[in-house]
Every structure is written in C-alpha cells, then in structure tokens.
Amino acid sequence: MNKMSFIKLFLFLFFLNTGCENTNDINTTEIEQKKNSIFGNRDFKEDMRSFVIGLSEHAKGINPEFAIIPQNGIELVTKTGTADGAPSKKYLEAIDGNGQENLFYGYKRDNVATKEEITDYNINLLKVSQNAGNSIFVIDYCSSKDKIEDAYQKNYDLGFIPFVATKRDLTLIPPVPHTTNKLSNKSIASLEDADNFLFILNYEDYDTKNELISEIDNSNYDVVFLDMFFNDGTPFSKLSIEELKTKPDGGRRQVICYMSIGEAEDYRYYWDTSWKKNKPIWLDKENKNWKGNFKVRYWEKEWQNVIFGNDEAYLDKILSTGFDGVYLDIIDAFEYFENYDE
C-alpha cells in the first residue's frame, strides 16, 4: 500500500468511527429526551429506594421484627449504584437482607457458571449490605452434584446464606445432602441465625395445601420463602403459617412471604379485569417474557396503595397472616425505566 492510499484509509476509518460515536450520542440523547417527556426528570433508583423505605416503615410500625428482603437490584445499596459509592444509609437501615439470583450459577443458563466479572460485580455490592449488618441470601441455579457443592461452599466462604435450585421454576424441595446445606434442628430467632433457606414458589406438584405444608414441616430449613397463595388462589391461613414455623424436632424457623412490587400480576387477588382496557396511570406494558405480568410505574401512589397501607393491601394481608417478613421481587424494575423505549 502506498503512502497516499494509507492516508486515505486512515481518514476514512477516522471519520467512520467519529460518525458512529456521534450517532450513538444522538440516539442516547433521543432516548433521554423521550423518557423525560413521559416521566419527567426522575431518579428511578431513588424512586425504588423510597418505595421500599416506605413499606418498611409501615410494616415495622406494625411488627418491629418484620424482615424486609429485596431481591436483585443490589445497586440500590449505594447512592451511585456502584460498590465504591457512598452507602444509601436510610435504605440499608430499612432492609434486613438482600436476595441475589445467579451469583455463581445460572446467569446465562442453568447449570452454567456465571462469568467471573459479573459475580465479582455483585459480590462487591452485596458486601456493602452485609457490612451494614444485613443477611445475604443467594439463589444459584444448577443441578450437577459438583456444581451444587461448589455453589454452597463459595457462598458459605463469603458468609452468605445459599440455596441451590435444581429447577428454576422453584417447584420442589431439592434433594441436597444435609451436610452440604447445613440443615439442623437449631432454633432461628432472626435472619442472622440462619445457615440455609428454602425457596418454593410454585405449587403445581402439590394437590392440596396440607400436602405442601406437611413436606415443608418435615424439613429442617432455617428460613422458608414461599408464596401466600395456593394454586386455587386461596391464601394460607395464619394457623398454617404458624405451623410452618416449627421444625420437626421443635426448633423455630422464619417463614417469609414472596411479593412482587415492580410488576402487577393479573392472577393476584387485587387485579381488576377492567385495567387492560382502562389502564390506571401506574400500569405499563406486559412483560414479554412473563405472560400476565405487567410493568408498573412503582413511584405512583395508586400502585403503592395496592401494595401497602390499608386492609386490602398486599403487604398488610401478609402481616395479618403472621409471616416473619417479606421477600420483595422485581426491585430491579428501575432498569426497565432507565432504558425505557415506547
């Protein structure tokens, strides 16, 4: 290649690259302008922090020992959303733990190790919450014996409380050796006493509530996360939840209720069938990956009233049923709105 040809090629590549950067800048600006025209200049992370703090204050005003555990959205623990940012002190004080999926296995596919840089990113943020005195619950998704053992050991080495789900739909109690997940008959007065937990969310393999309750009763998990409603939509009774709090040998355990606050679910008791035609101000698009789940503008007071603060609100029903705490899902809904595209 002669000198003139080289110069022409250099100039071509330079302007091509500059043009791409300018195009990206324009696209980013357009997205920001579109978001601002719809939502105003909102801080979506701070909106979620405020939501969690509000429901925590409400719940602990009724039961000071009631535990608040957000799942994912770990960026909320600092003001900048990065591990080196200043801790979000009020948020960290409002919660009692964090849940994190796919820390070591399952981020891209079940039974496949999560990339090291993703694991490290989440660990650094989880440590912020742990250092503030909160318990860290990790759900990894794998089924190979060696990977199950590896996930438990890595979490225990970090002082985290692990659960390895062999099925992502969380329909069963995995057959894990007691030596692996430290099951015991010791009493659990609070989350910080726990060495393990069970997360069972879908009850399709159980014909009756009693069948499910009996199987959990006969296990020695320290903490149990479950949905308040059975397959037929009816809630568990306060008596049933109290029964679940006792291990086979008489030790106590914590029973925590699952609740999504970043999406509305059309199979829940609160759903109004008219909403699909006459959308409330807070109701957004259906989640294309989860039929019947709808994104919500969680900062709107009308949606927060569905979640807490009155006798018909979801959290208030959980409190009155006697659960020891609540496990909050779709905390990372702020990501959807930060990247909002109509």
pLDDT of residue 7: 47
User: Within 10 Å of residue 78's Cβ, how many Cβ atoms?
Assistant: 22
Measured CA to CA, the distance from residue 297 to residue 189 in angstroms comes to 36
pLDDT of residue 342: 63
Report in angstroms the alpha-carbon separations of 228 from 219, 232, 314. 19, 11, 10
Report in angstroms the alpha-carbon separations of 233 from 184, 243, 263, 270. 32, 20, 18, 11
pLDDT tens across the length of the chain (342 residues): 544 454 444 444 444 455 554 545 555 566 666 667 788 889 999 999 999 999 999 999 999 999 999 999 999 999 999 999 999 999 999 999 999 999 999 999 999 999 999 999 999 999 999 999 999 999 999 999 999 999 999 999 999 999 999 989 998 888 877 778 899 999 999 999 999 999 999 999 999 999 999 999 999 999 999 999 999 999 999 999 999 999 999 999 999 999 999 999 999 999 999 998 999 999 999 999 999 999 999 999 999 999 999 999 999 999 999 999 999 999 999 999 999 976
pLDDT digits (tens, 9 = 90+) for 60-82: 999 999 999 999 999 999 999 99
Domains of the chain: 44-261+296-338 (3.20.20)
pLDDT of residue 30: 66
pLDDT digits (tens, 9 = 90+) for 21-52: 454 555 556 666 666 778 888 999 999 999 99
pLDDT of residue 3: 47
pLDDT of residue 239: 98
- Answer whether 266's CB lies under 8 Å from 292's CB: yes
> How far is residue 170 CA from its own chain's centroid?
14
First to last CA, the chain: 49
Measured CA to CA, the distance from residue 197 to residue 252 in angstroms comes to 13
Listing DSSP states for 191-246 in one string gives GGG-S-EEEE---TT-SSHHHHHHHHHTS--SEEEE-SB-TTSPBPPHHHHHHHTB
The pTM of this model reads 0.90
